[in-house]
Amino acid sequence: MSQSDSSGTHEPKAHLEIYSEPIGDDYKEREIRYGREYPQKHGDRHPWPIDEYEESRQRDQAVQLQELEQWRHQFSITTRTGYVLDLRTGFGLWAMYFADKNPGCRVFGVDFVYMQPWEVPLNCDFHIIDLTQPDWWEIYVDISLVHINDLGGDISLLKCLLAGAFRCCISCGVVELHGITLDLYNRKGPAYRFYKDLQTAYFKDERQLSLPERIPLKSEYSTHLQKRFLKTWLDGLEALALDLMTKHLGWTRERTLLECALTREELHNGTDGFLTM
């Protein structure tokens, strides 16, 4: 399961056997849908764009998550010098952030979709492997912290990741999950109708959008930072909706864009409810 050097430290097999091989061309191929770039390989498990706009939006969102202290960790229970897994790493933003903040750790960002940057901290590596396989975890050992990014409500993948995470962690290891969803009280506006339809589309794709930081959707109750984060999240509505609304509800691109615009306008103006993380 592991290999040792003269100092007795362990290295996960993935670093030795997987990332040393070039990433296949099939992982690099993208297709244009609804005017956005989507991954061609594993596109059914990742129905969201991976283009420059989405990467830029997620970078802005990552900065605001840091300011909201959503990426703060209790280091009394998490070692600063262990191995760390970032599962469904996406653009690798959390993995690179954690590696920068903890140079004594070795961070592995893992995904089945290739969209990660090449320039990374020295203590950060990205692995492209199929996380849907039940034995994905076997190449990792002695993991101190497992961070699972937003899975878009994919419950079957969550079960697979949790089962593996608990097997590759050390005895006092930590597993944490991150996600974002809406909790709306005003049931008469376009935002509520849109989000219910979004939930329906995700449910038909076997996903659930049903989390404990709560950002009020009425501006008089939210801070300036919370307003900035809400705007950045709302800028991603089209990314959340386009593929699954078309696939499962039969919506046209034009209808999806219109509904996103109406929802964004209502939530920008303020309504009863919360954005929950």
pLDDT, tens only, 48-68: 999 999 999 999 988 888 787
Question: Do residue 86 and residue 42 come from a single domain?
Answer: yes
Q: What is the pLDDT of residues 159-180, one digit of tens each?
A: 999 999 989 988 878 888 887 7
How far is 184 from 272, CA to CA, in rounded Å?
6
Handedness of CA 43, 48, 49, 54 (dihedral sign): negative
Asked if residue 8 belongs to a domain, the reply is: no
pLDDT-derived band at 5 (thresholds 50, 70, 90) equals very low
pLDDT in tens, 108-132: 999 999 999 988 999 999 999 999 9
Write the pLDDT tens digit of every residue in 74-96: 544 455 668 999 999 999 999 99
Q: Do 231 and 143 share a structural domain? A: no
pLDDT of residue 173: 82
Determine the average pLDDT of the residues in 198-215: 76
Asked if 92 and 121 sit in the same domain, the reply is yes
> Last residue of a domain, which of 177, 211, 229?
177
In a domain, 7, yes or no: no
Tokens of 98: 């954690």
What's the pLDDT band for 136 if we cut at 50, 70, 90? very high
Does 211 score more than 60 pLDDT?
Answer: no
Residue 139 lies in a domain: yes
**Full 3-state SS string of the chain:** CEEECCCCCEEEHHHHHCCCCCCCHHHHCEEEECCEEEECCCCCCCCCCCCHHHHHHHHHHHHHHHHCCCCCCCCCCCCCCCEEEEECCCCCHHHHHHHHHCCCCEEEEEECCCCCCCCCCCCEEEEECCCCCCCHHHHCCCEEEEEECCCCCEHHHHHHHHHHHHHHEEEEEEEEECCCEEEECCCCCHHHHHHHHHHHHHHHCCECCCCCCEEECCHHHCCHHHHHHHHHHHCCHHHHHHHHHHHHHCCCHHHHHHHHHHHHHHHHHCCCEEEEC
Question: In which band, very low, low, confident or very high, does the pLDDT at 277 lie, cut at 50, 70 and 90?
Answer: low
Q: Regarding predicted confidence, which is higher, 157 or 226?
A: 157
Q: 142 and 101 in one domain?
A: yes
Q: Which residue has the higher pLDDT, 202 or 17?
A: 202
In terms of domains, do 173 and 86 share one? yes
Q: pTM for this one?
A: 0.74
Residues 191 and 268 in one domain: yes
Nearest to 262 by CA among 250, 249, 273, 271: 271
- Of the three residues 159, 177, 195, the one that is the final residue of a domain is 177
Instruction: Count up the domains in the chain and report the number.
Output: 2
Asked if 104 and 139 sit in the same domain, the reply is yes
Task: State the pLDDT at residue 55.
Answer: 94
Q: Tell me what pLDDT residue 9 has.
A: 38
Tell me which residue range forms the domain holding 122.
25-177
Greater confidence (9 vs 264) lies with 264
Arithmetic mean of pLDDT over the chain: 82
Share of the chain above pLDDT 90, in %: 44
| 88 and 128 part of one domain | yes
pLDDT at 190: 87
Quick one: pLDDT at residue 192? 84
pLDDT digit string (tens) for 216-240? 777 776 788 888 888 888 898 999 8
pLDDT at residue number 87: 97
Residue 22 has pLDDT above 80, yes or no: no
Last residue of a domain, one of 177, 207, 236: 177
Q: In this structure, are 34 and 121 located in the same domain?
A: yes
Whether 19 is in a domain gets the answer no
Does one domain contain both 141 and 46?
yes
Residues 160 and 199 in one domain: no
Question: Are residues 94 and 134 both part of a single domain?
Answer: yes
**Residue 112 within a domain:** yes
Q: How confident is the model at residue 210 (pLDDT cuts 50, 70, 90)?
A: low
Report pLDDT for 19: 41
Residue 40 lies inside a defined structural domain of this protein: yes
